[in-house]
Amino acid sequence: MRLISGIFFATAMSVSGAYAADMVEPVAAMDLPYSWTGFYVGANAGGAFGKIDGDFIGIPGSADIRNFTGGALVGANYQYGQWVLGVEGDINYLGFKKEFSPGLGGGELGAEARLDAFGTIRGRVGYAFDRWLPYVTAGVAMGDVKIDEHVFSAAESKFQTGYAVGGGIEYAFNSNWTARAEYLYVDLGKKDFGFAPGTPYDVKTNFSIVRAAVAYKF
């Protein structure tokens, strides 16, 4: 009788143990919520579309920006609940170089505009849906604008600062890699290049950026 009771007890314990394991396994197999907190580095590429406007003693001119842009980025995020707060900086190649138009006979500015690169330092605010992160961003933009002026045969570069605003959506493929699509509007403000005394030479630069980026989160 004791033997039968022992066999029954062992069988019951085995069945209950297997049942408990079945209950625990799905819980252990569940994915934990993704965390956006951490430092990251990455690269971006896309297109820039806008213009550099010039005004030489009341004579207007403009040079359209239609260029490839690409660069590197670095940043950090902190997630609190579903809210994600971050800061990001980037430096980007632009390679823009173009004559102001229209031509001299029709009231040309008589100059070439150039912007080789630009950078931004921005804050980001997003609302996470697990691995999806829609966000808005805003901050400071900067770039070295060069004007090669033909009337006075002079060239000058000025470091212009302004702002950048935009937004995008980012997706985390795994614990380390993310990808995003992003739009930015960049305004570098207006500067007076003043090649000669009493001859104001105002230059204003603004453009939009549509780009994609990948990043590695540590």
Is 38-217 assigned to CATH 1.10.3720.10?
A: no
82-121 in b/e burial notation, b at 16+ Cβ within 10 A?
eebbbebebebebebebebeeeeeeebbbbbbbbeebbbe
Which residue, among 107, 57, 60, has the nearest Cα to 204 in the 3D structure?
Answer: 60
Instruction: Please give the C-alpha separations between residue 141 and each of 77, 146, 168, 175, in angstroms, as whole numbers.
Output: 20, 16, 17, 30
Q: Domain spans of the chain?
A: 1-30, 38-217
Task: Quick: pLDDT tens for 14-26.
Answer: 444 444 445 444 4
Task: Quick: pLDDT tens for 23-39.
Answer: 444 444 456 889 999 99
Task: Quick: pLDDT tens for 86-127.
Answer: 999 999 999 999 988 764 444 456 788 999 999 999 999 999
Task: Quick: pLDDT tens for 40-67.
Answer: 999 999 999 999 998 877 778 889 999 9
